Amino acid sequence: MKIISLLVILLLNFPLVVGAQGQRSRDLYLRYESGSTSGGQPGAKLKVELSRGGKVRMVSPDRTFRSGDRIRFHLSLNFEGYLAVINSGSSGRLTRLYPYIGAPNPVHASAELTVPGNEAWFVFDQTPGTEEVTFVMSKDPIYELDDLPVSGAEDSAGETQGRSVSARDEQATLGRLRSRAAQESRDLQLEFATDVAYGTASEQDLSGLVKFTVGLKHRR
């Protein structure tokens, strides 16, 4: 899958917090993850796995990438909840990256998810442009996912059998989900570290949806 970009700021549609306040986002995430609901907040931890020149390493989402780089996201939630990941290409087409067939939903707290799954990678092509990856999270089921095939069973030939939807219907469903997430988003605090970004909610009650959008800086 092609992924291009021009921006790598985790835009969570939320304010960027740096310095002492920025550090607080990491602390709030870790406290909540450890079970200290009185001293922590629900949120997400995001890392980028970068493969370049035969070497693989973890990097922060706010770095600049090059043509030919391969990346994938590693995401953890510090609460049990539901997740959808949507890629918006420069053409405007929406692609569901998570949940893929067989992926867990709800997601267990602290479980690390890889996006895309099944050993796949995003590859930066030779044409700079803009693509966005939107992560949508909720403690409650995301009802739009009911309209999409997110699980399946293998038949006797080993092929996955699942409910199919037309490309047009899937585009419409993803568009509705992205619009609802934009309307219901809660403010998050965001902190970048060397190889990870933390985003935490301002409240412990995550009713509705929380989203953040990653844009990626790409140069040749």
User: pLDDT tens digits for 83-123?
Assistant: 999 888 767 788 888 988 778 889 999 899 998 887 889 88
Residue 96 lies in a domain: yes
Residue 4 lies in a domain: no
Residue 3 lies in a domain: no
The label of the residue with tokens 């092929």 reads 159
Question: What single-letter amino acid sits at 33?
Answer: E
pLDDT: which is higher, 133 or 90: 133
Closest by Cα among 12, 28, 17, 47 to 196: 47
Residue 156 lies in a domain: no
Closest by Cα among 110, 139, 136 to 205: 139
Longest dimension (CA), the chain: 57
Confidence of residue 130 (pLDDT cuts 50, 70, 90): low
| Residue ranges making up the domain that contains 70 | 19-149+163-219
Number of domains in the chain: 1
User: pLDDT tens digits for 8-47?
Assistant: 333 333 333 333 344 478 888 888 888 776 778 888 999 9
Contacts of 20 (CB under 8 A, 6+ apart): none
How many CB atoms sit inside 10 A of residue 120's CB? 14
Residue 125 lies in a domain: yes
Confidence of residue 166 (pLDDT cuts 50, 70, 90): confident
Contacts of 92 (CB under 8 A, 6+ apart): none
Residue 73 lies in a domain: yes
What is the 8-class DSSP label of residue 208?
Answer: S
pTM reported for the whole predicted model: 0.77
Residue 144 lies in a domain: yes
pLDDT at 164: 57
Query: Residue 150: pLDDT above 70?
Result: no
Residue 13 lies in a domain: no
